[in-house]
Structure 1
């Protein structure tokens, strides 16, 4: 597996992912983990339009993504995996895929979220999942884009949720 990045971002493929992270990581393929979008041709079309022309896009369930990754379906391609929520990454890890780190990017604010940073808002369930990911040895860091400093996300989370 040649996973060069994993990012939680509620917008999935958009300006930051397409124009900043993809070139920075020299990703050949973006894998979007989303159980709902897999069956939504309109949303998939929108993601394809946002994906850089030199980059391939796969929209997969966690189970399918794990199968493809564990069976080396992508060969030497440099892979950037993106999902809206941390649960998708926990599911991927529980399917046997190893991830060393996850970039916690934009998670939008709603009536039921708690603000961790200006860009990161979490649900109660997300907090539990972040702790599970940490317990599985995944380093979680907050970095909006490659030009700003990365911060230890769990320290930020613990400071705001105590």
Structure 2
């Protein structure tokens, strides 16, 4: 069972692994990233960030979708992490479950605007987040569980296209 999907362009690091573990009590982390799935150094770094007793799978987006739909994972609490809104949308298009979406970290880059202190979005990012919201998915924005939840739509209204 997917208990939450998270967007964080760094994918897995200590802040995610440990702060969200206490909040979600997950048993497995599935990283859905075409790039990370083919990067042995990045995979090794993420494995080192995984809490003891937690299973970690790093797959392409399509392979991650197949994995989380496997009946064996239905009984496990799974934290699903993607790097960007496009990959989140791709997953929601494939999987049957509709976990809430946490937008946690998207780095500043050319063509992106500040959405919240740790989230910078492009027009394409906003387009995919709008599509996800239109699917009826609850979207929250916060880096860690101890932060106050900011609703996507509240922040979205402040950004003009």
**Which TM-score band applies after superposition, normalised by the shorter structure?**
over 0.9
1:105: which partner in 2? 104
Contact 1:69 1:97 in 2 (8 A): no
Q: Is 1:122 paired with 2:121?
A: yes
Q: Runs in 1 of length 4+ with deviation above 3 angstroms?
A: none
Residue of structure 2 equivalent to 1:39: 38
- Residue 28 of structure 1 deviates from its aligned partner by 0.7
Q: Which moved more, 1:90-99 or 1:32-41?
A: 90-99
Cα offsets for 1:86-114 (capped at 9, x unmatched): 11111111113322310110111012211
Structure 1, unmatched stretches of 5+, are none
- Name the counterpart of 2:65: 66
In 2: Cα distance, 1:110 partner to 1:77 partner: 36
What displacement does 1:60 show? 1.2
Q: Secondary structure at the match of 2:158?
A: helix
Residue 53 of structure 1, CA deviation: 1.8
Please give the alpha-carbon distance, in whole angstroms, between the structure 2 residues aligned to 1:31 and 1:123: 25
Distance 1:96 1:5 in 2: 13
Map Cα deviations across residues 14-34 of structure 1 (whole Å, 9 max, x no partner): 122111002320111111110
TM-score (normalised: structure 1): 0.93
Match of 1:91, SS state, is helix
Contact 2:108 2:119 in 1 (8 A): yes
SS in 2 for 1:21: helix
Q: What whole-Å deviation, never above 9, does each CA across 1:24-67 have from its counterpart, x for those lacking one? A: 20111111110011111111101101111221110112211222
Q: CA RMSD in A?
A: 1.4
TM-score, normalization by structure 2:
0.93
